[in-house]
Amino acid sequence: MRHRKAGRHLGRDSAHRKALYRNLVTDLLRYERITTTDAKAREIRPIAEKMITLGRRGDLHARRQALSYIYDRYVVEKVFEDIAPRMADRPGGYLRITRLEPRKGDGAKMAVIETVDYQEAIDIAEAPPAEETDAAADTEADTEATAEVEEPEAALETDDESDEVDDVEATVEPGDAEEVQEPEAEAAPEAEDEER
């Protein structure tokens, strides 16, 4: 019996399990939201919250501790410079686990684990600042004015191109046209053979 034995084995030996947790924590902190099984989400939650707490501390030793666990140094940089400041006023509980319907193939219980401010962070990232919006409107107005000035020149260029096409057609000799039609005639008998 496994009395007083905390943690899940997840059908893996200890080295494989540790690597799995490190991969999941790295991806969770990179994307701030992942879908996994409910058991794996419950196992990585305290580990990921500890990494965010290290980010809140922000000193060199905390950064080195995070680098020793998280595989990607850019993810560590994101934790310390982006995620931790957003969680500065929160005394823990940085992640949320939401259960989903069972997986189709094997019926495993699935869950989404994400940062508690995931949707707010997405909204802030997608919304352009007001200054950029005004600058974009000015740029669009300038582009439209420039396009109106360039239209008559484009019409003249089109007329010149059609004259060049007429000149090229006039230089084609009747013998050249027959050579072009011969490959088409050869392709037709092959198509009939394939139909039979």
Closest CA to 97 of 54, 53, 43, 52: 43
| Whether pLDDT at 15 is above 80 | yes
Residue 152 tokens read as 């008559």
99 with 171, same domain: the answer is no
100 with 147, same domain: the answer is no
158 with 109, same domain: the answer is no
Residues in the chain: 196
Where b means 16+ CB within 10 Å and e means fewer, 119-156 reads: eebeeeeeeeeeeeeeeeeeeeeeeeeeeeeeeeeeee
Please indicate, yes or no, if residue 8 is contained in any of the structural domains: no
Residue where a domain stops, chosen among 126, 148, 163:
126
39 with 67, same domain: the answer is yes
**What does the pLDDT look like over 107-142, one tens digit per residue?**
999 999 999 988 777 777 787 766 655 555 556 656
Please indicate, yes or no, if residue 80 is contained in any of the structural domains: yes
| Whether pLDDT at 26 is above 70 | yes
- Yes or no: say if 25 and 47 are a contact pair by the CB < 8 Å rule: yes
136 with 66, same domain: the answer is no
107 with 18, same domain: the answer is yes
Gap between the Cα atoms of 142 and 161, Å rounded: 28
Residue 160 structural domain: 130-195
Residue 130 tokens read as 């007001």
Residue where a domain stops, chosen among 67, 98, 126:
126
- Yes or no: say if 87 and 93 are a contact pair by the CB < 8 Å rule: no
* pTM to 2 decimal places: 0.63
101 with 66, same domain: the answer is yes
Strand-by-strand arrangement of the 110-115 sheet: 33-37, 110-115, 95-99
Average pLDDT over residues 152-178: 54
48 with 79, same domain: the answer is yes
- Yes or no: say if 53 and 29 are a contact pair by the CB < 8 Å rule: no
Please indicate, yes or no, if residue 9 is contained in any of the structural domains: no
118 with 159, same domain: the answer is no
- So what's the pLDDT on residue 122? 75
Q: Which amino acid is at 131?
A: E
Residue where a domain stops, chosen among 126, 157, 172:
126
108 with 26, same domain: the answer is yes
114 with 151, same domain: the answer is no
Q: Tell me how many domains the chain contains.
A: 2
| Inter-CA distances, 95 with 48, 51, 63, Å | 8, 12, 20
- How does residue 85 score in pLDDT terms, banded at 50, 70 and 90? very high
186 with 103, same domain: the answer is no
